[in-house]
Structure 1
């Protein structure tokens, strides 16, 4: 008598509910659920929930094969064959439609600058038509090959569509997973050292701050353009006037500031004489992208400053062995339930050692995954993944018990996590990024599309690392595998292409990407240490440390501004103003950062002193602290320096020659006479070198 699957049905339903709740929490973290429209929220939710359910469906399918006996506890969570097959059909085709049609259309629809929904949809269809035409051209060439191999019938067209989608997804998945298998354990190992982690964060600060300044300037120029169009809307239609007013209302820049139009004419490109809907749509699209870019780098800069401050706090607590992050730290991370001493041991000792242990564990898992990918193409008996998932205690066909299902879900989850980590680590995707509570709609569609695109090929690639007697009996193989292997070309691609995972893995391991950039010229930079001994502007960790300290000090002074806009990090901190780039509203925000403005606090003066020591600036002196003899000696020195000496005094000593041992050697880095070199020389700017 066949056993009942009631317990497995309950487990599967509860698992789906838990997955749905977790996906909703993830969406709530990156998107405001209340203000996000339903036509965007539903596709993104399905694009994340369906791949997560595949991680649950694959182990269930492995335990629900026909070869699995119905005896005792050797079967784990299983479902009837018909139920599994229907689940695969629904999951696969929903994922396919979302990946290739719905999400690309929704992304362009949300990114469009038009106001009317019909115009936005037309723009989305027109933008996706080029890509679809390329896919159609490739499909026609593949269709000819399928017809020559199997004849013309409906199964050939269906197999062509599924095989091409699988091939493209597998190429992308293998490349990303190979990078992530090396990059993720390496990042954990590097973050174990607090000092190295702090140095790395400080090295990222100048580049992040520069990108934030560029984003602020770009948004300011676009908003200036919108302000100038407001004065020229009289000759346009009512819809165009409402459109321009809407752009100005959403702008964060006041339109009544003096000199606004002059700044627009000098910083922005000319506005056409006739303002058309296409021009307004393009400007609206640029404004939305600029606001997303500003929110992205503002979030990165805030997180980077907070991270550097937290790491420095942990390192400073080594003497007192008590760790207090302060009230300004986010409430969820304060961990008030722990005492300061226990918190110190957790962050100073436990967390670094835990990162090292996880990095070693994940590195071993990565080695086993690469080994299984390469070996399973020739002999599945040597696949470590297959040996840990499939057990042979009851029959010759192999069994997948509940423990084997847990191991299978863990392997598949790790493979997907490495591929998704590579997406965030390899930043070649343009302006797309995930921002907490402020993710751009087009970025949300794109990231969910990648999750849906990668999961199905990785899942099928995962079951092929099992013995053939097991995976060829699964419903997934009967649904997708037979169509992929319909031709010899498709069968060979599915079998041997995973071996190429060695290419991205070795390239990441030995940093071949960086070496290639240096060889072709992108990474060759001139050494500016001679012309710029301070290192300012070269993106060094010292400059990053000064920028972070000044940012944290400005927040601690209660200025109410979390970010210092363009000019505070480069021009104003050097002591020179940036004309034409800062508005009066911004100057009021930058005032606490200027030397002598509101820096009476010792901590602010210390941060300014460290920044000035890096940039080789003189310390700002207070006139009230200067003594009378300092002014007197300066006047005397200036008098002697500016006096014109007689001609006989100018030529005095020109006929005398110095001995060789007293001459200045240009090859000496310190310069000066031999007597100076004996005592360490003399530094520039009149400073004594100790």
Structure 2
């Protein structure tokens, strides 16, 4: 049978790549200020996210291209073999270079405190020397084993053996990390969806996390003040330094918030008698990290306060006597969304079970793999079994595997100060997170195709490109076949909360223990902290702080916690709260009907109050008397100039004492 044209598939692939590029650009815009981000950082991070996303697209296309159906209408999206090979080579080797060379060097380059690019690059090379030395040592040992294993094989090219070594070791390292993280995510994602379906349980969980986040925010602010105090001390004695170092100190002072925070000079560590370039570089690095840490925990605290206030307002509305029949937003938040969360959580839990079952049994008998059964829809086809529906299902499986692994990355607490912050993500953190995306996608993609029938998976271009090199030696081949069974270890650890038990025994937490029930008194302390934050500037936050205060339960620790001294001064804490209120997005404001209509009336009123009527219209208005109902209860003979703007009165503007800000109908 002659192959059909791939023009439609080419158009679909191009549109899909454009969609991926657009989505990645929007994601970068959410976490990074695009205009202020240099191109040398933006382009590698974009590629590190776009290329793995394209791999998720390439796997289903490769499956249909190598084993499509006899019927053109059921074959799905396919590309010629030479196009698939070029696409895999570009995607794999670009991802490999970004993962092992470009992003590690770029991350340390951005984290460096030096001013000159040459000095920053040298610092990056030195920082990565230990990492690269370990990699080179392991690679050398692996090369000795590979060449010894194939010493009697005259048909094997030595260059091909070396390439197999590099690809197999990179795959093995990525698979170890990916399988562990994926196993945790396959349990954590469905469980979180189901547990967060209850509004009250979600609120109590937020309140139990509030003390820890609040303490970390205080520590971050204190740390930044300490570091900036050192800058102030350096500025006071800058005349003893060379001219280039004086300019450096002035740059640090100009970019700091010293005039606002007014740190205490006596509380900071005194600089050394002789200030060197290396000391200023380390100080600059500390300042950047301290600012990132403050922005990180400020964002987490603001988000927690907004969510807690919104959930509490929903609980207060459900317990009040106010009519809720017309409040569609209330029914969506309290009834529809929780039901959808439970349904989605149960569905993903079933998907996790099917994925785990397939990981365990696919090496024993591929016909028992539920993943393979769901992808194969045409077993009687003479030239293959996968159509368009199988492609969509395979893409969904692969996307869920990657999402589970990447979700666990955000919960792991051994990555130091790295975090994603909206519009304020630190450059080194952006490099590190994009590196993890690039590192995990290829091993998970190859692990996915191994759960499909070998007659199909071994015919793909991806397997011919990567699989045959991985299986070049018995050690790596068996490792790839049987190691995914280890996925059950993080699954069991997450189900039975072994992380929390280990944390209680040795006092060290690896994964965030957010699924435990809050301890006695912990959520009450968090509730008090949230109430205090809402009281600090409730008029700007537009949050239902009064409802939170009215629903607070009496507790013997209440008065003690309110009087507990904070390490932040009142002025700095209040200014931090005001700055946090300014940065809050407006979509999380009070959503009640009263606040909505009052806000609309206020905005319309402000619009018309700023409009100045022309002179000819005023002359006409002087000779025309308005009816009584248009004067808001005033005399019929009053003019439009008496008592303020007419449109302002119409929408609740100034006027009589009976005006309460409502829309006049």
TM-score interval, smaller chain: 0.7 to 0.9
Counterpart in 1 of 2:304?
304
SS in 2 for 1:439: coil
1:550 partnered with 2:532: yes
Contact 2:314 2:334 in 1 (8 A): yes
Counterpart in 1 of 2:174?
169
For 1:210 and 1:541, locate their aligned partners in 2 and report how far apart those are by CA, in whole Å: 14
Compared CA separation, residues 125 and 345, structure 1 to 2 (3 A) = same
Deviates more, 1:396-405 or 1:495-504: 396-405
Contact 2:367 2:373 in 1 (8 A): yes
For 2:524 and 2:383, locate their aligned partners in 1 and report how far apart those are by CA, in whole Å: 63
Contact 1:321 1:344 in 2 (8 A): no
Runs of 4+ in 1 over 6 A off after TM superposition: 321-324, 569-573
Compared CA separation, residues 241 and 341, structure 1 to 2 (3 A) = same
Compared CA separation, residues 466 and 146, structure 1 to 2 (3 A) = same
Counterpart in 2 of 1:181?
186
Counterpart in 1 of 2:440?
454
1:644-675 Cα distance to aligned partner (Å, 9 max, x none) = xxxxxxxxxxxxxxxxxxxxxxxxxxxxxxxx
Q: Offset of 1:518 from its aligned partner?
A: 2.6
Compared CA separation, residues 584 and 540, structure 1 to 2 (3 A) = closer
Equivalent runs, 1:330-349 vs 2, <5 Å: 341-349=327-335
Equivalent runs, 1:10-89 vs 2, <5 Å: 10-65=11-66, 67-68=67-68, 70-89=70-89
Contact 2:69 2:384 in 1 (8 A): no
SS in 2 for 1:427: coil
SS in 1 for 2:422: coil
For 2:257 and 2:323, locate their aligned partners in 1 and report how far apart those are by CA, in whole Å: 40
Q: Offset of 1:270 from its aligned partner?
A: 2.6
Q: Offset of 1:394 from its aligned partner?
A: 3.6
Q: Offset of 1:550 from its aligned partner?
A: 1.4
For 2:191 and 2:340, locate their aligned partners in 1 and report how far apart those are by CA, in whole Å: 14
1:240 partnered with 2:241: no
1:306-348 Cα distance to aligned partner (Å, 9 max, x none) = 0000001111111458799xxxxxxxxxxxxxx9511111011
SS in 2 for 1:318: helix
Q: Offset of 1:395 from its aligned partner?
A: 2.9
Q: Offset of 1:575 from its aligned partner?
A: 3.9
Equivalent runs, 1:124-135 vs 2, <5 Å: 124-135=124-135
Q: Offset of 1:586 from its aligned partner?
A: 2.5
Q: Offset of 1:539 from its aligned partner?
A: 6.8
For 2:270 and 2:213, locate their aligned partners in 1 and report how far apart those are by CA, in whole Å: 30
SS in 2 for 1:284: helix
Counterpart in 2 of 1:275?
275
Contact 2:69 2:387 in 1 (8 A): no
Gaps of 5+ in 2: 152-156, 510-518, 544-556, 579-665
Counterpart in 2 of 1:425?
411
1:56-96 Cα distance to aligned partner (Å, 9 max, x none) = 1000000111x545543231100000000100000000000
For 1:588 and 1:544, locate their aligned partners in 2 and report how far apart those are by CA, in whole Å: 18
Q: Offset of 1:201 from its aligned partner?
A: 0.4
For 1:570 and 1:268, locate their aligned partners in 2 and report how far apart those are by CA, in whole Å: 34
For 2:177 and 2:286, locate their aligned partners in 1 and report how far apart those are by CA, in whole Å: 29
Gaps of 5+ in 1: 325-338, 524-536, 562-568, 593-690
1:561-608 Cα distance to aligned partner (Å, 9 max, x none) = 9xxxxxxx9999654766xx656852774999xxxxxxxxxxxxxxxx
Equivalent runs, 1:639-678 vs 2, <5 Å: none
* RMSD of aligned alpha carbons: 2.5
SS in 2 for 1:271: coil
Counterpart in 2 of 1:285?
285
For 1:560 and 1:416, locate their aligned partners in 2 and report how far apart those are by CA, in whole Å: 38
For 1:322 and 1:386, locate their aligned partners in 2 and report how far apart those are by CA, in whole Å: 53
Compared CA separation, residues 292 and 475, structure 1 to 2 (3 A) = same
Residue number among 212, 217, 233 corresponding to 2:217 in the alignment: 212
Contact 1:377 1:499 in 2 (8 A): no
For 1:77 and 1:6, locate their aligned partners in 2 and report how far apart those are by CA, in whole Å: 10
Q: Offset of 1:231 from its aligned partner?
A: 1.1
For 1:540 and 1:445, locate their aligned partners in 2 and report how far apart those are by CA, in whole Å: 36
For 1:551 and 1:323, locate their aligned partners in 2 and report how far apart those are by CA, in whole Å: 30
Q: Offset of 1:168 from its aligned partner?
A: 0.3
For 1:200 and 1:498, locate their aligned partners in 2 and report how far apart those are by CA, in whole Å: 33
1:405 partnered with 2:410: no
Contact 2:528 2:562 in 1 (8 A): no
Higher radius of gyration, 1 or 2: 1
Counterpart in 2 of 1:360?
346
Counterpart in 2 of 1:5?
6
Contact 1:322 1:341 in 2 (8 A): no
Q: Offset of 1:255 from its aligned partner?
A: 8.8
For 2:362 and 2:494, locate their aligned partners in 1 and report how far apart those are by CA, in whole Å: 23
Counterpart in 2 of 1:153?
158
For 2:560 and 2:253, locate their aligned partners in 1 and report how far apart those are by CA, in whole Å: 29
1:238-270 Cα distance to aligned partner (Å, 9 max, x none) = 11000001111111022996xx6xx323x2223
Contact 1:397 1:470 in 2 (8 A): no
1:536-567 Cα distance to aligned partner (Å, 9 max, x none) = x9971111111101111222145999xxxxxx
TM-score normalized by structure 2?
Answer: 0.79
For 1:364 and 1:588, locate their aligned partners in 2 and report how far apart those are by CA, in whole Å: 48
Compared CA separation, residues 588 and 23, structure 1 to 2 (3 A) = closer
Compared CA separation, residues 231 and 547, structure 1 to 2 (3 A) = same
Counterpart in 2 of 1:473?
459
Residue number among 470, 475, 486 corresponding to 1:500 in the alignment: 486
1:379 partnered with 2:365: yes
Compared CA separation, residues 428 and 380, structure 1 to 2 (3 A) = same
Counterpart in 2 of 1:201?
206
Compared CA separation, residues 459 and 587, structure 1 to 2 (3 A) = closer
Counterpart in 1 of 2:401?
415
Compared CA separation, residues 97 and 389, structure 1 to 2 (3 A) = same
Contact 2:420 2:430 in 1 (8 A): yes
Contact 1:113 1:283 in 2 (8 A): yes
Compared CA separation, residues 218 and 444, structure 1 to 2 (3 A) = same
SS in 2 for 1:224: helix
Contact 2:207 2:523 in 1 (8 A): yes
Contact 1:3 1:70 in 2 (8 A): no
Contact 2:76 2:387 in 1 (8 A): yes
Aligned residue pairs total: 550
1:509 partnered with 2:491: no
Contact 1:85 1:479 in 2 (8 A): yes
For 1:379 and 1:47, locate their aligned partners in 2 and report how far apart those are by CA, in whole Å: 35
TM-score normalized by structure 1?
Answer: 0.76
Contact 1:322 1:343 in 2 (8 A): no
Q: Offset of 1:392 from its aligned partner?
A: 3.2
